[in-house]
Chain A
């Protein structure tokens, strides 16, 4: 019933391997990193996976099939590197497993697909991340301000934001 960390690791290695095989000459997509196991007592999560922005929905589908729940979606602005990181946290209602999925998008063009079709709870989290960072979630049904005023045209958690 409840998955083990080995099974989840295997699924992601498969996902990242397949993508690499399917699009070897696609230089535009940022390189997908390894699947890392982390010590829960040190980091607070068990598995840390870096995927390419186009793989976030596939990663969500894997975790959905294994019975994970969506914890949160958020961003981190890496101004010096010219990138924004989108972080997806997942918990499992039965197994003691926490998984973090990360994807990096260029700061100039912060776009990646929505996962709200897989996890409806992502709808609000993605709207919030759009409010705070201006990251656009393609295919989102209603990417309007959630916590900021309805006419807000600023993104306060960008590191170059000046009030």
Chain B
């Protein structure tokens, strides 16, 4: 005998029944930024529980790290967060240089800072365009990609790649920058401020955007700490945590820049942090171009690289937050263990708690304000 299913309780005034239903968002939903899937238990338009289901683009980079030499793993690092490739390569070469005690020439460190900051601007532009297209405005995407193209052209000129740069090497860089790059970078620093002002007039001060983001998706400083969320997410919660200042690396201590912080904890605060960060990155690039030292771009590196046994970690401030590489060496020319701690993983892990009780369109706006890159989560 088939058990009779109990009828759900009727809603107020005898209307639609009061019960929850499961909404499956993704893994190919246009608002899900790649292959992210979220299982949402909905009470009408309200989310009672939203569980991210990840792993659809898992490639096991950490295993790949264990079956090739240190140098051969280098190209992998730019394929984890492909929008922030310079920073990721920086963390891996930094960890190896720290372990092998390789000295990096000053010129190489300055160029690393210049390219990292340009990469941060390019990454923030993709975020900006994607967030706004999530919110229903497609035009800003085209403006952002127009400006981002200038950076990609510069990078193509120095390392041949437009996205997955493998420009940094243990001990320095694979190429010195040429005059075209230096001229182009200077032109870009001049070109951007009026564009950022236009972004502000066109989008940031727009009443519809403000209403979609202000007060939406609160993420407190304590929640960031408990989940390990970093980058613009924690800085939008009033905490001036930035690896470039807390654990200074490369040539960053040489430059004068501010860490933009907004205490409101909402999606708008995270938005404004990134918009201000682009201005600060331009300041760093300009200072580095002004004081770029002459000299070689490659230090002395042994032909066969074997690291002393032990474990070493190196963290950088990537566009999405703290990216850390932890390497374990057993003295051979192949890593014993490579651990990649990615910011998007931690930033998404708080979504279940943060989205509880929100309505669906607000949760999608919050998702956009987290700036997720799915391969960065899944590795």
* A binding-site residues for B, Cβ under 8 Å: 40-45, 64, 67-72, 74, 76-77, 87, 89, 91, 93-94, 96, 98, 100, 119-121, 123-124, 132, 145-149, 156-157
Using A87-B326, A89-B326, A124-B345 as known contacts, say yes or no to A94 and B241 having CB atoms under 8 A apart. Answer: yes
Instruction: Report B-chain residues with C-beta under 8 Å of the C-beta of A156.
Output: 60, 63
- Least Cβ–Cβ distance between A10 and chain B, in angstroms: 22
The answer, yes or no, to whether B111 is at the interface (CB within 8 Å) is no
Query: With a CB–CB cut-off of 8 A, which chain B residues contact A148?
Result: 55, 58
Residues of A within 8 A of B349 (CB): 120-121, 123-124
Q: Bound complex: CA of A71 vs CA of B345, how far in Å?
A: 11
Distance of A123 Cα from B348 Cα, bound (Å): 12
B99 CB to nearest A CB, Å: 9
Question: Which stretch of B18-26, B73-81, B138-146, B336-344 is in the interface?
Answer: B336-344
Whole-angstrom CA separation of A64 from B228 in the bound complex: 12
Q: Choose one: B55, B314, B341; the contact of A71 (CB below 8 Å).
A: B341
Residues on A with beta carbons closer than 8 Å to the beta carbon of B247: 40, 44, 96, 98
Query: Which B positions have Cβ atoms within 8 angstroms of A?
Result: 54-55, 58, 60, 62-63, 66, 95, 98, 221, 224-230, 234, 239, 241, 246-247, 310-315, 322, 324, 326, 328, 336-337, 339, 341, 345-346, 349-350, 353, 378-379
Contacts of B336 in A (CB 8 A): 76
Residues in A with CB closer than 8 Å to B55 are 145-149
Contact in complex: A147, B378 (CB < 8 Å): yes
| B326 proximity list for chain A (CB < 8 A) | 44, 72, 74, 87, 89
In the complex, how many angstroms separate the beta carbon of B316 from the nearest chain A beta carbon?
A: 11
Complex Cα–Cα for A94 and B230 (A): 12
Extra contacts besides A42-B98, A44-B315, A69-B225 (4): CB < 8 Å: A42-B312, A98-B247, A120-B226, A148-B55
Q: How far is the CA of A91 from the CA of B231 in the complex (A)?
A: 13
Q: How far is the CA of A44 from the CA of B349 in the complex (A)?
A: 25
A–B pairs, 13, beta carbons within 8 Å: A43-B311, A45-B313, A64-B226, A69-B225, A70-B225, A74-B341, A89-B326, A91-B230, A93-B239, A121-B346, A121-B349, A147-B55, A147-B378
Complex interface: chain B residues within 8 A of A120 (CB): 226-227, 349-350, 353
Q: Is the CB of B337 within 8 A of A76?
A: yes
Contact indicator A44/B314 (Cβ below 8 Å): yes
- Centre residue among A68, A74, A119, A121 by max chain B CB count within 10 A: A121
Q: Are A89 and B324 in contact (CB under 8 A)?
A: yes
- Complex Cα distance, B234 from A38, in Å, reads 27
From B62, B226, B314, B378, A121 is in contact (CB under 8 Å) with B226
A43 touching B313 in the complex, CB below 8 Å, given contacts A93-B234, A121-B350, A146-B54: yes
Q: Report the minimal beta-carbon distance from B69 to chain A, rounded to whole angstroms.
A: 18
Question: What is the chain A residue whose CB lies nearest that of B221?
Answer: A93
Contact, CB under 8 Å: A89 / B341: yes
Q: Shortest CB–CB separation between residue A145 and chain B, in angstroms?
A: 7
Task: Give which listed residue, A69, A87, A121, A147, contacts B54 with CB less than 8 A.
Answer: A147
Q: Is the CB of A121 within 8 A of B58?
A: no
Task: Tell me which of A44, A64, A149, A157 contacts B98 (CB under 8 A).
Answer: A44
CA distance A98 to B346 in the complex (A): 17
Min CB–CB distance A34 → chain B (angstroms):
16
Residues of chain A with a CB closer than 8 A to B241's CB: 91, 93-94
